[in-house]
Chain A
Amino acid sequence: MPKTLAEKVYDAHVVRSAAGEPDLLYIDLHLVHEVTSPQAFDGLRAAGRRVRRPDLTMATEDHNVPTLDILKPIADPVSRAQVEALRRNTAEFGIRLAPMGDRDQGIVHVIGPQLGLTQPGTTIVCGDSHTSTHGAFGALAFGIGTSEVEHVLATQTLPQYRPKQMAVTVNGELPEGVSAKDVILAVIARIGTNGAAGHVIEYRGSAIEALSMEARMTICNMSIEAGARAGLIAPDETTFDFLQGRPHAPQGADWDAAVEYWQTLRTDEDAVFDTEVVLEAAELTPFVTWGTNPGQGLPIAGSVPDPATMADEDERRSAEQALAYMGLTPGTPLREIEVDTVFLGSCTNGRIEDLRIAAELLRGKHIDPHTRMLVVPGSVGVKLQAEAEGLDQVFTEAGAEWRGAGCSMCLGMNPDQLQPGERSASTSNRNFQGRQGKGGRTHLVSPSVAAATALTGRLTAPADLADAPVPAAV
């Protein structure tokens, strides 16, 4: 029977299948961070259980990590206690930890690929919804809750129901200045924040195949924002080139055996998807959100929508609540929205390519004097690479703040937060109410829109900069 890529990976991991019960799925890699794991370790201790496969488990500190003074103890006692709990738990159960200050530390979804632990055809879970990021390598990767974290720690398996299959096909070639972030924001605006519930999304088509691994990770990362637990892309030469030579990638004869298998990981010609969505790349433009969920977005040339014109009652109520929170008036051109803060970073857009794109736009210029820009690399590895390329200099000379690695202002569990009423253009993944700080207002954007916005102080596409003079660096 013809199968999709996701079905092939799923089927290859079924430990046990019985009528009327969920399948038991084997997990190849379990990533752990400090926020969703302490209660799971407590559960193991209470039941006298051990971690079945510490060698398939990797932990890091990311959510609570300050991005300044990273070699000092964390000032917030509650954050510090949570990080210390992870250190105790990983030591007790024999799990590898990349702590603050370690060269492998970073956002869990950035370090997995960076270390070569994220590989095609594997199953990957983490107590974090953006685990879908790893699907960029053709892995079946999804977020789980703390009870499931405990289950995987104890058994290296998870009870699962076979997901439905969705194809999102992007045909053609992306126009200049349109990035992976714009593609996924357009997809979410099309199908809605829970439109892919119950599905795994496979992204395919020539526009997807042309993307770098970093860009593919951006797309798969936000699958959860469309309601899909997982999103994936068939591995190809781009994937293999990215992986080859990384610390945990196979080597020698093992590499050849792995590549031979990875090349089979493609959806069969006549496989059937339950749902199909098609986008034409040529029609896409830089996209920004105006509301309080990632589906409330529009091309940057648009205006704040008028809820009164929305036929669907649920959509209208939701838009009214969003605009009240965001302090926006219907009809306002999106390009006229002024921001206080620009955040470049997160598991969505905190990789080296994202920093390069933004730095190129900022080189030799200075950001708007009323705007603050935070640049937070996704990992220590990304930070060191950026510094080797001199990107840190470009950012600081442009007036941006160059910080340590972590989740940072994506969700403000560390001191990097918006103040009440403050507005951001953010390369992160969620514009939920209060996500970046109590009362904070978030517009989701791509790295190039973030950089252009920092230069002008209002939502701006890179192409707009030609008409809008910006101050030169001093």
Chain B
Amino acid sequence: MDAFTTHTGTAAPLRRSAVDTDQIIPAEYLKRITRTGFEDGLFVAWRRNEPDFVLNQPQYADASILVAGPDFGTGSSREHACWALLDGGFRVVISSRFADIFKNNSTKSGLLTVVLPQAEVEALWAAVEAVPTTQVTVDLQEKQVTYGGHSVPFEIDGYTRWRLLEGLDDVGLTERHLADIEAFEARRPAWLPKALPALPA
């Protein structure tokens, strides 16, 4: 996973709430077995069917920060939603509320999810709709979003922030605690279910 420290770019205002992961990337694109190359599926139904959709507007074509309505990323656990956003050029999604699994997946794939109060989301929408070239800086080190001389702090738990700043792989971190895992396994009751060997019905 790439480290995330700070990012500056333009932002696309997505004025929709409860954007589910089926909209971010439909199921037919999930048949691939690669981890990259999902940009063609990103918001594909809206891009195809709605000429005015924000990402069809040339002034937002190069946006790297997505500013969405509340409850972004509900539904399916597909991490492909994060990969599609990254492949589509986004490094940050800002919303007043994210679905749990999407948020969790984002922290594992290097996409920064920033929670701001809805009033701040509205202010940011207004700013980037008025001036689409507005440069927005999302600084994970300082935990703040800055644009047009306006700075808004955001909260993120310290552990996740550290992992993102360092670009650390969770598996490697957990493997440091192998002795704890082995000790736990030694305590597990023998009657707990096992998938192997397969037993007849």
Contacts and interface: CB of A to CB of B under 8 A. Distances in A.
Contacts of A115: 199, 201
Interface in A386-435: 411-413, 430, 432-435
Nearest to B22: A432
Interface string A289-317: 00001010000000000000000001001
Nearest to B109: A147
Nearest to A144: B77
Interface stretch (A31-39, A179-187, A269-277, A365-373): A31-39
B171 A150 contact: yes
Contact of A147 (B27, B32, B158, B170): B170
B74 A194 contact: yes
Contacts of B177: 15-16, 24
Contacts of A249: 193
A119 B192 contact: yes
A105 B100 CA distance: 30
A35 B193 contact: no
A128 B76 CA distance: 7
A35 B31 contact: yes
A430 B18 CA distance: 13
Given A42-B33, A148-B108, A229-B100, 20 more contacts: A22-B159, A28-B193, A35-B78, A36-B78, A36-B79, A82-B31, A129-B76, A146-B105, A155-B181, A156-B185, A159-B170, A194-B71, A225-B75, A249-B193, A254-B190, A314-B69, A314-B70, A317-B16, A412-B27, A413-B31
Given A16-B180, A21-B159, A159-B170, A254 B191 contact: yes
A45 interface: no
Interface string B104-119: 1100110000000000
Q: Which interface residue of B28, B97, B157, B195 has the most chain A CB atoms within 10 A?
A: B195
A256 to B, nearest CB: 10
Nearest to B190: A254
B123 interface: no
A8 to B, nearest CB: 15
B22 A433 contact: yes
Contacts, number: 214
Contacts of A157: 174, 181
27 contacts: A15-B184, A24-B174, A24-B177, A28-B192, A36-B78, A55-B194, A96-B196, A115-B199, A116-B193, A145-B104, A147-B109, A150-B171, A157-B174, A159-B173, A159-B174, A194-B71, A194-B74, A225-B75, A247-B200, A248-B193, A248-B199, A254-B191, A258-B189, A295-B18, A318-B16, A318-B17, A430-B76
Contacts of B30: 35-36, 63, 413
Interface in B50-93: 69-71, 74-80, 82
A107 B196 CA distance: 19
Nearest to B195: A58
> Which of B34, B159, B171 has most chain A Cβ within 10 Å?
B171
B170 A85 contact: no
A55 B181 contact: no
Contacts of B157: 161
A321 interface: yes
A286 to B, nearest CB: 24
B99 interface: yes
Contacts of B16: 317-318, 321
Nearest to A25: B184
A391 B101 CA distance: 38
A39 B101 contact: no
Nearest to A79: B31
B77 A36 contact: yes
A438 B100 CA distance: 26
A379 to B, nearest CB: 11
B130 interface: no
Nearest to A248: B193
A259 B148 CA distance: 63
A56 B194 contact: yes
Contact of A145 (B98, B101, B173): B101
Contacts of B18: 193-194, 293, 295, 318
Given A55-B194, A81-B33, A432 B20 contact: yes
Interface string A52-83: 00111110000110000000000010110110
B73 to A, nearest CB: 9
A122 B77 contact: no
6 closest A-B pairs (Cβ-Cβ)?
A147-B108, A145-B79, A145-B105, A38-B33, A254-B191, A58-B195
Contacts of B192: 28, 119, 122
A411 to B, nearest CB: 5
B156 interface: no
A430 B31 CA distance: 19
A29 interface: yes
A117 interface: yes
Given A55-B195, A56-B194, A433 B99 contact: no
Contacts of B80: 146
Contact of A55 (B27, B189, B191, B196): B196
A216 B199 CA distance: 26
B171 A154 contact: yes
Interface in A314-332: 314, 317-318, 321
Contacts of A15: 177, 180-181, 184
